[in-house]
Amino acid sequence: MSKIVDIVTNLAKPVVEQAGCTLWDVEYVKEAGQWHLRVYIDKDEGISIEDCENVSRALDPILDEKDPIEDSYVFEVSSAGLERTLKRPEHFARFIGNTVEVKLYKAQNGAKVFSGTLMRYENGNVTIESENGEATFLKEQVAAVRISLL
């Protein structure tokens, strides 16, 4: 994780929890020449626009005061989403038994995307079960894993 993401994560977590949500992820990315700071939040009953507004309004002045980012950026707070990306061990643990889509850096057996039921996550390795049987993808092969609604 980048230093900025670590700092913002530490600043955002108590604000998000005070709003009755959990912090899913923080990302700081450059898109189309513009930096974006995104804070993704979650809660069991789902995230509303009001949840995003409340967290944004509470966190914005803290970010202004602490000023962890020198460059100008767009600040966004949003739901982790139904088809959220799984990144941390706790994300994978929560979604064992759900359908996921595994994207690989390089094609394997002619494909870069595999779908199936998430069976295990161990030391970064992802195991899914599909109609073709069980398959394990090594951490260094996996570009992204996200929940699939298919």
Domain boundaries defined on the chain: 3-79, 85-147
Residue range 85-147 in CATH 2.60.40.2470: no
Long-range (24+ apart) CB contacts under 8 A made by 27-36 are 28/2, 28/4, 28/69, 28/73, 34/73, 34/74, 35/69, 35/71, 35/72, 35/73, 35/74, 36/73, 36/74, 36/76
**41 or 132, greater pLDDT:** 41
Mean pLDDT of 22-41: 96
CATH number (3.40.50.1820, 3.10.20.600, 3.30.300.70, 3.40.50.10860) of 3-79 reads 3.30.300.70
Q: What is the pLDDT of residue 149?
A: 85
Is pLDDT at 1 greater than 80 in this prediction? no
Report pTM: 0.85
CA 48 – CA 110 distance, rounded (Å): 40
Is pLDDT at 6 greater than 80 in this prediction? yes
Mean pLDDT of 47-69: 95
Nearest to 74 by CA among 121, 110, 37: 37
Mean pLDDT of 39-54: 96
Is pLDDT at 2 greater than 70 in this prediction? yes
